[in-house]
Amino acid sequence: MAEHFDVRRQTGFATVAMLCFLLLYLPIGTLVVYAFNDNDSLAIWKGFSLRWFHVAWNNTLVIESSIRSFQIATVAAALAAISATMAAIATTRTKPYPGLTFKYAFINQPLMVPEIVTAVALLIVFSRIKIWTGYSGLGYLMAAHTAFCVPFAYLPIRARLESMDLSLETAASDLYATGWQTFRYVTLPLLWPGILAGLMLAFVVSLDDVVITEFIKSGGQDTLPTYMLGELRRTVTPEVNAISTVFLALSIGIVTAFFFISRKRT
């Protein structure tokens, strides 16, 4: 009888895995270390200091762009999760029919199309709307981020729906529950971990987006990533490292929190 194949037992697997992790996390680790550098230079270590964190904390532009990033990401993630939940239910709780696969591919199209193409398309549409309405607020960034984040929320929600046991929903229907009652008391509680995962992915993707934001934003609407990009174009100081370190810690914290919340509700 042939031995079961296990990639972990292959020669050199551990070495290759460790090398991949090293190449992936060494640059990030270097950035974090030099965020605590007391020197004005990015590459010359002078000594440990929290100087650049204080500089970033007292920078009003950093605070304003951070608040703006969280506002956009919160709204975009919530709308994307709601839209993705409805789309996932519509494409899973139905009998297969011609065109269903096309709808699935259409929803996930933004994942396959280069982000800059989506950004240019949204720029053209929103520029005409700005002319017609005269409105140039954050609504365009929120709408653009929502459109881009829907597929990221859709995939975990759909995966959760496909793995759920239909017998409970069938039993609820047999007990004369309406469609809304079945969804509220049976489907939604079981689906909640998938919704949380989709919400988390959409939030993180929106929070660190640069390309779409750079094309859609108006004057004075910098998010934290676009502000950092602008600073790198003008002058490079360890302040950018400090901001990136806080941003990284925040992202890790969000992912960790949602992970534990999802485990408790699974």
pLDDT tens readout for residues 20-76: 888 888 888 888 888 888 887 777 788 888 888 898 888 888 889 989 999 999 999
pLDDT tens readout for residues 60-104: 888 899 899 999 999 999 999 999 999 888 888 777 778 778 888
Residue type, 153: A
Buried b (16+ CB within 10 A) or exposed e, 141-164: bbbbbbbbbbbbbbbbbbebbeeb
CB proximity list for 218: less than 8 A, separation 6 or greater: 136, 140
Query: Which candidate, 225, 239, 181, places its Cα nearest to that of 70?
Result: 225
Contact call for residues 149 and 80 (beta carbons, < 8 A): yes
Which domains are delineated in the chain? 52-265 (1.10.3720.10)
Tell whether pTM > 0.85. no
